[in-house]
Amino acid sequence: MKKRLITWEIGSFIWVAMAGSAFHFSFELSEFWTPLAFFSSVNESTWEHLKMYFWPGLIYALVQYTYTRDIANNYWYAKLASLVMTPIGICASFYGYLAISLPLYGTGFFRMDLLTMVIGLTLGSVVAYKIMIKPPLSKPTKNAVLTGYLVMLAMFSTFTYYPPKIFLFENYFGYEYSGEYGILEDYEPYRVFRKE
Residue 195 lies in a domain: no
Per residue in 1-55, pLDDT (tens digit) is: 789 999 999 999 999 999 999 999 999 999 999 999 999 999 999 999 999 999 9
Q: Look at residue 84 and tell me whether its pLDDT is greater than 90.
A: yes
Domain encompassing residue 13: 2-190
* Model pLDDT, residue 116: 97
pLDDT at residue 148 in the model: 96
Per-residue pLDDT, 195: 64
pLDDT at 196: 60
For residue 21, is it within any domain? yes
Q: Is residue 39 in a domain? A: yes
Number of domains in the chain: 1
pTM here? Answer: 0.93
Query: What pLDDT is attached to residue 140?
Result: 66
Map residue 181 onto helix, strand or coil.
Answer: strand
Q: What is residue 192's predicted lDDT score, i.e. its pLDDT?
A: 87
Mean pLDDT computed over every residue of the chain: 95
- Compute the average pLDDT of residues 137-149: 86
What's the confidence (pLDDT) of residue 141? 79
Cα distance between residue 77 and residue 143, in whole Å: 11
* Cα torsion angle, 43, 47, 53, 57, sign: negative
Does the pLDDT of residue 183 top 80, yes or no? yes
Residue 196 forms part of a structural domain: no
Report yes or no on 55 lying in a domain: yes
pLDDT the model gives residue 138: 80
Asked whether the bond before 140 is cis by omega within 30 degrees of 0, the reply is yes
Q: What share of the chain is helix, strand, coil (3-state, %, to 5)?
A: 70, 0, 30
